Structure formats: C-alpha cells, structure tokens
Amino acid sequence: MTNPTSCMNDIFGLTACYSSSLSTLQQQDVSMVMNLVNIERHNARALLMHHRWKMDRIHDFLERRGREGLFREARIVVPPEDSSTAARARAPPHKRPRTVTCNVCFEDVSRPSDVSTMDCGHCFCNDCWTEHFFASLGNGKKHIHCMQVKCPAICDDATVRRLLGRKYPDAAKRFDNLVLDSYLDNNASVKWCPSAPHCGRAIRVVDASERYCEVECPCGVSFCFNCAAPAHSPCPCPMWDKWDAKFRGESENLKWIAVNTKSCPKCLRPIEKNGGCNHVSCPCGQHLCYACGGRLDTLHNCNRYDEAGHANYDSIRRQMLRYTHYCDRFNVHVNSRTAEQTQLWPAIQKRAVLLESATAIRPLIREASWMARAHRALLASRLVLARSYAFAYYMFGDEVRTYPSEKANLPIAKVLFEDQQWQLEENAEKLSKVLATEAKPVLAEEEVLRAMQETSNLAKIVDTHCREIYKCIQDELLPLLLEPMTIAPRPDGPDKAKDLAY
C-alpha cells in the first residue's frame, strides 16, 4: 500500500532540475533566440531576461515591431556584422591597429591580444576590463555593461569569463553562478525549491501561466509556485502572507490560544485529546467538541463566529477574541492532521497488512487501497479546513476591501461559506472516527465490506465538500474583492514534480 501523499497527478508538466540540467535548459533557450534573431549569446540571454524567458513574448514583439524594434525595446546593442566581435577577431593582423590607447588607464597597448572590444565598438585594455568585470560582480550585476559612460552595450560572456579566469578564477565561477541564477530570478516558469538545507533542485512548470499551482519537490517539500511559501490553498497568497506573519508574531503573546486542553463544560476538568477526532468525552460522561469546548448535541455548530456574543467587549478585546476564534480552529485542524498522520496512518498500515494476508477473505475484498485513499482524503480535508479559517479571518474582517456594490452581499456569502465549511468539518470528523475504528484488526468479511463501503462513501463526501469550498472561494468570494486574488485550482494537494535526467 502506497503512502497517501505519493499519488498526486502531474497535470502541469512539472519537472525537478539540478543545476546541471538547468544550465542545459538555459542554453537551449538561448540557442533558440540566437538562431531566431541572429545575435550572439550574451545578447540573446539579455533579451530572454528582459522578457522573463518567455519565448511567446519574444515572438510577439518580433512580429509586431520587427528585429530592430525588439532590440530597441530591450536596450540591446547589436553591431553590424562587419564590426562584430567575431568579425574583428577574424581580421588579418595587418588590418588591426598597431597601438591602442586605453581611455581608462591611458596606457598604450601594442599587442592586439591585450585589448578587447565589445559589440558597441568601445575598446579598452584587458587589465581595465578585468577590474571592471570584478567590480561589477561585487555589486551582484547579472548584466555587465560596457565601461564607456552611458553605453548600454552588454559585455560578451566569453570575454568576461576568459579575463576573470586569468586573474580572479573564483570570480569567474561566481559569474557562471550569476548567469544560471538569472535563469531562475527572471523566469516565471522556474523556481528554486525552498527546502532548508537546500536540496539543490529547482521546479520547472511547462505552462508559466499556471503560476498559482502548488508543487511538491522530490525532496518532499510542498510550496506555492507563485509566492514560494509553504502550500496554503485555498487561502490566496496575500492573505496567507498576512496570516503567517500575524500567526508567528502573536504566538508568544497569545499562548492561551494554543493550549493543549479544553475544560469540560460540565465539571470543568481539563480534557486532553488523544488522536485526531474532535469528538471527545470527559470521565464525568459529558461529550464535548474539542474545537470549541462546547457541549455536543444535535444542534451543535461551532464553525460560525458569533459576533453578537461578544458585542459588549471593547474593540481591541473583540479583535483579539475574533483572531483567537480563527487561530484556535486553525490549530485544531493542523494538530488533528498531525495526529492522523503520525498515529492513525501506522495503524492503518498494520490493518492493511493483516487484511491482505487474510486468505479466508475474497481477494477483491482483501485489497486494502481504499483505506489509503480515505486517509489521503482526510489529510487533504484537514489542510483545507485549517487554511479556510485563515482565509475567513481576512475575507470577513476589515483587512481587505470589497467593491462598494458588493458589500451588501458579503454577509450572505459569509453564511453560505460557513455552511459549506461546517459540512466539511462534520464529515471530516466522521471519517476520522471511522478510520480510527476500522484501523483495529477485525477481519470478518462482512465487517470489512461494511467498513469499505462506509469509509469510501465518507471519503467521496469529504472530497466533494473540499471542492465545493474551493469553488465557493474562487468563484463566489474572491470576485467581491477590489484586489485581484486567486488560489491553486486543486483541493487534493500539490502536484508532484519528477526529476529531470539529462
């Protein structure tokens, strides 16, 4: 039986690349532009960087503005063919000037091999060029421009590498690293994996328009491709950035938010949860919801924040109580997921081994993958629920602005969202409880069949509610905001990237 986090579909053409593979991909793109518009390598790289390594944009500019317009817009200096660096290098010795005066150090240089000329035609001695290259690298420049004042020409990569290698070999290596970094820093399709310590991989998305996807590196780290933060859908990037900063900054001041026990509403005894299910019972017999600490009855519903219930508090107290409401429930689902991953999953694995080895049960019923699928759905739902509270905190507070014409619709949208959130919570708790029960080693065929049907049905219901929450946020709530926001399109977890071999 496979691990529940290893079955994601690769729908965006994700690949994980090491530095050597990235360099190959970069050179392929550069060579395409060199052949397309007949320019040298350093100018092709500059053109790609200007257009964020998007070939479609270069084709579009070339079609609309022509070759010269394409270069002019990117401020790229391309000399006539007879004055290019390559043409000058091919010139016979008797046509080269015998002595050149460097306009930086004002030394006369007699050997042609001791001077270098860039595409713009400006010529200086190699010693001055070398120091210029070294100083530019110290400033972190990925484009090293000509020394002539106000000259926009970009220095030839091969010349930079050759001259630095003679006097500053470490700087030459640093230049190669900067050239490679330019492929990632300016490329909408490639991002470094944010793992720490770094795994050495970058993730490449075939379709750069899908920057809001969430990806999982082969090293196991999942992150948002748009902002490089840990995966956080269905909470949009701007909201998650605020939530994460607030959550980290106030955790020490609000320690009581993340207490490890809840008081029984009947006898006030502190109750500690054991496992992922939030339906807990006190030794006195009282059943309570661990998420809110309230009594469990047929009318129990704790996912809605009761604004009226705190109307008598001053504004600061109300803000703190409101944050506590959402933060507490965020923590509840994060902690439940941890328990279901570290405690429930090993129990399910043991049950699966017993079930698959039970020869008295028909082979079709012995197959135990349904437990892994249900457990995967449960873990995904916990993430959706936790992040939905981060989203709700900002969506229904004063932190974001809505269109004036839509303000009247926000309370109705809030009720609909909270209803979907509550339904997902209820079914996630049921699924957690059923999985915890079915993890026990009971091997009667009738019981296994019943458990399989019940668990599979609950998993489908949970998955449906997750998708409904995503749809509600993307289609109903985010369009109400003045600031454009979007979320990753899939509620069942990040897409797995595959290692690219070259």
Which residues have a catalytic role annotated?
Answer: 277
Q: What are 289's strand-pairing partners? A: 279
Omega of the bond leading into 234 within 30 degrees of 0 (cis): yes
Closest CA to 142 of 178, 171, 177, 168: 178
Tokens representing 346 are 């090993």
Amino acid, single-letter form, for residue 62: L
| Whole-number Å distance between alpha carbons of 191 and 426 | 38
* Side-chain half-sphere exposure of 218, counting CA atoms within 13 A: 15
488 with 231: CB under 8 angstroms?
yes
Tokens 């590196």 sit on residue: 217
DSSP β-ladder status, 123-125 and 270-271: unpaired
CA distances from 207 to 52, 53, 187 (A): 13, 12, 12
205 with 189: CB under 8 angstroms?
yes
Q: What are 163's strand-pairing partners? A: none
Spell out the residues 6+ positions from residue 383 whose beta carbon is closer than 8 angstroms to its own. Answer: 231, 333, 337, 493
Spell out the residues 6+ positions from residue 444 whose beta carbon is closer than 8 angstroms to its own. Answer: none
277 with 432: CB under 8 angstroms?
yes
Q: Report the 10 Å Cβ neighbour count for 241.
A: 14
Closest CA to 164 of 153, 176, 154, 152: 176
| Whole-number Å distance between alpha carbons of 261 and 57 | 57
Amino acid, single-letter form, for residue 356: E
Closest CA to 123 of 82, 151, 142: 151
Q: Report the 10 Å Cβ neighbour count for 54.
A: 18
291 with 321: CB under 8 angstroms?
no
Tokens representing 336 are 């439940």
